[in-house]
Amino acid sequence: MILPEAATVEVNPFDTQVGGSHYKGMTIQPLEFAYKNNLNVFQSNVVKYTCRAPLKGDPITDIDKAIHYLQMWKESLQ
Quote the pTM value: 0.74
What is the domain count for the chain? 1
What's the mean pLDDT when you consider all of the chain? 87
Asked if residues 62 and 56 have their Cβ atoms less than 8 Å apart, the reply is: yes
Residues 12-21 have pLDDT tens digits of 776 666 666 7
Residue 40 lies in a domain: yes
Residue 2 lies in a domain: no
Residue 13 lies in a domain: no
Handedness of CA 39, 41, 46, 51 (dihedral sign): positive
Residue 30 lies in a domain: yes
d(CA 8, CA 28) in angstroms, rounded, equals: 25
Q: Quick check: 27 pLDDT over 80?
A: yes
Residue 39 lies in a domain: yes
Residue 12 lies in a domain: no
Residues 57-77 have pLDDT tens digits of 889 999 999 999 999 999 999
| Residue 68: domain span | 26-76
Residue 50 lies in a domain: yes
